[in-house]
Amino acid sequence: MNPNSVEAVAADTDVSIAGAQPWWRSTSIYQVYPRSFADSNGDGIGDLPGAISRLDHLRDLGVGTVWFSPFFASPQRDVGYDVSDYRSVAAEYGTLDDAQRLIDHAHHLGLRVLLDLVLNHTSDQHPWFLESKSSRDNPKADWYVWDDGRTWPLGRRRRPNNWRSELQLPRAWQWSEQREQWYLATFLHFQPDLNWHNPEVRTEMFDMIRSWLERGVDGFRLDIFGSIMHDARLRNNGRRPSLRFGLPRLQDPVRTLNTEECFELATELRAVCDEFDGDRVLLGEVFGSSDVLKRYLRHRGKPGLHLVFAFDFLAAPYRAETLHALIDGYEADYPAPDLPTLVLENHDRTRSLSRLDGDLGKARVMATLLLTLRGVPVIYQGQEIGMANRYIPLAEADDPIPRAVARFVPEALNRRLPERLNRDEVRTPMQWDATPGAGFSDSATPPWLPVHDNHVEVNVESQTGDPDSLLEWYRTLLGLRREHPALHQGDLQLRPIGEERHVIVYERTSGVDRLLVAANLGDETATIDVPTASSILLSSDSAGTVRQGSLSLSAHSAAILTLD
């Protein structure tokens, strides 16, 4: 058997051994942000050969799948989320051959590969857009969303409707002098929305997707998928401001977000993926209530996306009651075989350790929940060693979001804004070792974002083999997750919050494999009842004990028990 074939990968991949369920239901995902992962040629920018050389780390950590943030050709104004050619690789990252080697090498190591597809928009430098804006009657004239808008008295130009961009303050319409029309840009102004109502766009995009599936990728993370299908009649959004799905919105985005046609598109994309062994997976970045999110999974009797992110842990406070309510909600909303995709941090949101006041005990508790709950866990590069936000003044930000905000609120540049606004702080180079370039790059060229000063202590090399390190905690948890069917495919029974209000307890069960997970999020030692015949399998609390049906857990610690 060719070691890189899909069959060989399936045989190799830990969790496929577990049983009949599809691999992606029991996998764990590691997000690589290529620009900050590993720089092989000393230009200060991470690249694909660098990523290839560091894939061993993922295998050793014990994850099943790697998701690469976009590495396609791009002017990089939004670090690759502004694509100028979906079928080639950004020159500073490498070549198509490198991408193929990356996919093959990951497979060789038993890792599945997800690429990041930005389907909603392209870069304004994409040749399609350059052609589209060149006139009103070129072959690509309708590949983007163009409209004349309306005219105010005295001839002032007026946008086609009231739609706002995802950033809220800016409007979603940009004026093109060249074409003398408005174009839609749901995210940033240099990211024009593709017109998915145009069948030619669909055909081209589906073919592009097939070309990557033919190269062997195991699926895709789908960027802002819920924004792709805007109302073709360009009707106004609701005028009322809303706090929709936890995000403040200046209007009610009924015509631009999670429309019926978005759910339909999910089923069409699924059909394209299913042309390939029925084994490839779609993970949607979608925002909404659980009822909305579930419509992406199946719509009108047809299967849609395989997985959708549940982003609640990104913002939830470290409080047992809150997290308990979220877990309870997931159990109700995602009955098996569905399951949520869980995430503590990513390239857009704050580092979880920074949200946890740098407390490694709390980080272990959160890692335990992430890797033992019923769901697909996602680990963002560096999370496993406890990388923290690295303060970068807004005035020096590379990220276009703070700069877009500053156009509307100039004084923001002089203030330290909420973490979400300067994403550079969570995108600094991966900390591999204590050398000046943190092992990310060994050249004198400064990396594209500064290395965090704490890399001297916080790095992969120093934590490897140290039983007290966060890295080894992650590795051990991932090992248990692979070994125990209870963890990677079992049911979950959540205990109601008891007298110990700061403790979360649940059981995971698959046949005879039965485990109990307990996490103490309080500042005091807690004692909880456990079955008499139970013993500690793993504990982050060296003082933790089980005696006569009672488990004692120190503040901010977690344990996994076997139940006989």
Which CB, 34 or 439, lies closer to ligand BGC? 34
Alpha-carbon distance of 440 to 466, in angstroms, equals 21
Tell me, residue by residue from 433 to 472, as one string, x for binding to ligand BGC by CB under 6 A and - for no binding. ----------------------------------------
φ and ψ at residue 115, rounded to 5 degrees: -100, 165
Q: Choose which of 285, 425, 500, 541 interacts with ligand BGC (CB under 6 A).
A: 285
Site of tokens 């276009």:
400
List b or e across 505-528, with b for residues whose CB sees 16 or more CB atoms inside 10 angstroms: bbbbbbeebbbbbbbbbbeeebeb
User: How many residues interact with ligand BGC (rule CB under 6 A)?
Assistant: 9
Which CB, 143 or 380, lies closer to ligand BGC? 380
Which CB, 143 or 311, lies closer to ligand BGC? 311
Q: Choose which of 39, 223, 507, 541 interacts with ligand BGC (CB under 6 A).
A: 223
Q: Does 224 bind ligand BGC (CB under 6 A)?
A: yes
Q: Does 425 bind ligand BGC (CB under 6 A)?
A: no
Question: Using an 8 Å Cβ cutoff, are 443 and 44 in contact?
Answer: yes
Strand order through the sheet with 526-529: 526-529, 550-553, 545-547
Q: Does 553 bind ligand BGC (CB under 6 A)?
A: no
Q: Which of 148, 180, 275, 466 is catalytic?
A: 275
φ and ψ at residue 488, rounded to 5 degrees: -95, -5
Q: Does 424 bind ligand BGC (CB under 6 A)?
A: no
Q: Does 78 bind ligand BGC (CB under 6 A)?
A: yes
Alpha-carbon distance of 267 to 341, in angstroms, equals 19
Helix 470-483, helix 360-372: angle, nearest 10: 20
Question: Using an 8 Å Cβ cutoff, are 104 and 6 in contact?
Answer: no
Which CB, 347 or 556, lies closer to ligand BGC? 347
Rounded to the nearest whole angstrom, what is the least distance from the CB of residue 343 to ligand BGC in the complex? 11
Is 199 buried (19+), middle (13-18) or exposed (0-12) by CB count in 10 A?
A: exposed
Tell me, residue by residue from 79 to 108, as one string, x for binding to ligand BGC by CB under 6 A and - for no binding. --x---------------------------
Is 193 buried (19+), middle (13-18) or exposed (0-12) by CB count in 10 A?
A: buried
Which CB, 417 or 456, lies closer to ligand BGC? 417
Q: Choose which of 68, 128, 187, 296 interacts with ligand BGC (CB under 6 A).
A: 187
Rounded to the nearest whole angstrom, what is the least distance from the CB of residue 387 to ligand BGC in the complex? 17
Which CB, 263 or 311, lies closer to ligand BGC? 311
Alpha-carbon distance of 324 to 5, in angstroms, equals 42
The vertex-379 CA angle with 298 and 216, nearest 5°, equals 60
**H or E element: which one contains 372?**
helix 360-372
Reply yes or no on whether 223 is catalytic.
yes
Rounded to the nearest whole angstrom, what is the least distance from the CB of residue 125 to ligand BGC in the complex? 15
Residues 6 or more apart whose Cβ sits within 8 Å of residue 157 = 149, 151, 175
Q: Choose which of 104, 131, 261, 348 interacts with ligand BGC (CB under 6 A).
A: 348
Question: Using an 8 Å Cβ cutoff, are 225 and 284 in contact?
Answer: yes
Which CB, 81 or 296, lies closer to ligand BGC? 81
CA-to-CA dists, residue 318 to 370, 384, 539, angstroms: 13, 18, 19
Q: Which residue is nearest to ligand BGC (CB)?
A: 81
Which CB, 449 or 561, lies closer to ligand BGC? 449
Q: Which of 92, 98, 124, 223 is catalytic?
A: 223
Tokens of 77: 């104004």
Reply yes or no on whether 275 is catalytic.
yes
Rounded to the nearest whole angstrom, what is the least distance from the CB of residue 35 to ligand BGC in the complex? 11
Rounded to the nearest whole angstrom, what is the least distance from the CB of residue 400 to ligand BGC in the complex? 8
Q: Which residues bind ligand BGC (CB under 6 A)?
A: 78, 81, 118, 187, 223-224, 285, 347-348
* Catalytic residue annotation: 223, 275
